[in-house]
Structure 1
Amino acid sequence: MQALINLLEQTQVLAAVIGLIVLLMIEQAHPFFDFFKGSVKEKGKHLLANMALGLTNALIISVFFVSTWLWASNWAYENGFGILNWLAAVGLPAWGHTLGAVLLMDLWMYFWHLINHKIPFLWRFHRVHHADPNMDVTTASRFHTGEIIFSSALRIGVILITGIYLWELLLYETIMFAVVQFHHADIALPEKLDKALRAIIVTPAMHKVHHSRWQPETDSNYSSLFSFWDRIGKTFRLHNPLKTLRIGLDEFDSDKDRKIKGLFDMPFREGDKRDNDK
């Protein structure tokens, strides 16, 4: 089992790096919004700021949380605890356990994302992700460390309640992050292809709406991997034509908000209209 976990961890890193490189190349060749107007230097600064957050978060998860997730998973399995372990005890096959793990984790991610928009304290951290006015593939890694710590700590309880194996969690995260990179990228698909794909997964056209500056659009399309949670939760929304969409947050549009220090201290500054929603 440890060999499988190690393999999935290596695959996760490799898939993320390949996805980043490939999508950066596509963005450079065929950008949808062309935020940087061909300026490699500005795009490089943007990449460094976003990836500084992403790499910091990856290190924290690796050092402080993976071993705890493994403990939670092993405890749930050994004690027959959690939804999937209860179902396995009455005949759920191994493939059903894995499919259930992917669906349950993605459902949790939908609800976690939604409450990050609804609870002002959590929004303070999550807005770091939304404050990027030049959304591209690197924005998929732009989450404040505080949000990652909250999410990772809560995941311990999710693992116990669901009975997910650690290798299933790693499998889900590998697939999910590949889709997250894809739908954050500054690209667009032909409408028919995007429509076909978004019947199952979140697409660029769908997720760009979530990064709109208009709050009713910001507060929609919370899904990470599978798009159908938004249809079930009645939070699905499209914007047409997509070129008229304005991305980012009006309250965090200064040069400071694009630098590494500004990203780290953004949750602790006033200025967001939701700060008064207490």
Structure 2
Amino acid sequence: MLTYIESQELTFRLFVFFSIFAAMGLAEWLFPKRLLTVSKAKRWLNNISLMLLNTVILRAIFPLAAAGFAAWCANQNIGLFNQVSAPLWLSVLVCIISLDGIIWFQHRLFHKVPLLWRLHAVHHADKDLDVTSGARFHPLEILLSMVIKITAIALLGAPVVAVILFEVILSGMALFNHSNVAIPPAIDRWVRMLVVTPDMHRVHHSIHRYESDSNFGFNLAIWDRLFHTYRAQPDEGHYGMTIGIKAHREDQHVVWLTGLLALPFRLFSPSRPDKSVSNKNSKKTP
């Protein structure tokens, strides 16, 4: 099985991605959580167009992608697990968890550094959340993320199969936790003990900065609890909260592809979410 995954990387990744995309899209239609405020057709057209553009740019600049780079590191004996003897299952597990933690730190960095926030604002300016939001990122953020990722792969000496599985898990979980799916609270409460759920991540897309600066995880839920950035629920509730960036809620440019690409380069920096202070101690809620 592992040999097949390595030899059929692109086929395997595309199959899993589109399977999860279709499943979450269907689930949103059958069990929607919130009413959408923007035309779904318009958002899907532009978000998916941005996703396709990112794929072309990424493959053009990094033709080997992360898995190909991992294979090169293995041939050159670069990185921790290419230098030490360890069972494959252990190296795969350690590398997947480590890469997930690195992506968590990267995400938090993109919120804290103003220049990086300009890029990440493209993701947060989405006025609704659904499965397409999980793939809505500026091309420069995607490229910077790849640089960080391959640096981590080189340091870890991550096995090729670990990198492929991590990429599949990361993209699949991004589709899942950005989806507009209503999951029963009793189930959500248990699932979010391990992984990030749609209700947990939705808090991160609030217009309020005290909520936007929480729940940075895309996959494992442990990081936000470990580093005290976990917030269980939005103060205004999932049906009353507002998604996006307050200054751009009426900005029509952030819907269209050309506006998304231009957003980081506008004269004025894309505004951060409102920096108001919470009136409730939501962090203590399970």
TM, length-normalised to structure 1 = 0.89
RMSD, matched Cα? 2.1
- Structure 1's unaligned 5+ residue stretches are none
1:251 aligns to what? 247
Question: What per-residue deviation string (whole Å, max 9, x for no partner) do you get for residues 173-214 of structure 1?
Answer: 112221111110111211111011111100011000000100
Aligned position for 1:261: 258
In structure 1, what is the equivalent of residue 282 of structure 2? none
Alignment check: 8 A CA contact 2:104 2:216 kept: yes
Instruction: Tell me: CA distance 1:71–1:55, structure 2 relative to 1, closer, same or farther (3 Å).
Output: closer
Corresponding letter in the other structure for 2:34: F
**Which amino acid in the other structure matches residue 254 of structure 2?**
D
Counterpart CA distance in 2 for 1:70 and 1:14 is: 17
Q: Deviations for 1:103-142, whole angstroms, at most 9, x for unmatched residues?
A: 1110110011010001000110001000001110000110
Partner of 1:17: 18
> Taking structure 1 as reference, are residues 101 and 229 closer, same or farther at Cα in structure 2, changes over 3 Å only?
same
Unaligned runs of 5+ in 2: 274-286
For the structure 1 residues 65 and 216, does the alpha-carbon distance in structure 2 shift closer, same or farther, using more than 3 Å as the test?
same
Task: Measure, in 1, the Cα distance between the counterparts of 2:136 and 2:263.
Answer: 13
8 A contact 1:84–1:100 mirrored in 2: no
Report the structure, 1 or 2, having the larger helix content: 1
Matching of residues 129-208 of structure 1 within 5 Å: 129-208=123-202
Displacement after TM superposition at 1:53 (Å):
1.0
Matches within 5 A, 1:60-71: 60-67=57-64, 69-70=66-67
Paired residues, number = 268
1:35 paired residue number: 36
Q: Residue 206 and residue 68 in structure 1: after superposition, are their counterparts in 2 closer, same or farther (change >3 A)?
A: closer
1:47-84: per-residue Cα shift (whole Å, max 9, x none)?
Answer: 01001111111122223224164564244324443233
1:223-262 equivalences under 5 Å are 223-240=217-234, 241-253=237-249, 254-262=251-259
The CA deviation at 1:31 is 1.5
Residue aligning to 2:279: none
Whether contact under 8 Å (2:204, 2:213) holds in the other structure is yes
Q: Give the Cα separation in 1 of the matches to 2:271 and 2:41.
A: 31
Which has the larger displacement, 241-250 or 214-223? Answer: 241-250
Structure-2 change in CA distance of 1:156 and 1:190 (3 Å) = same
| Closer/same/farther in 2, CA of residues 14 and 259 from structure 1, 3 Å limit | same
User: 3-state SS of the aligned residue for 1:205?
Assistant: helix
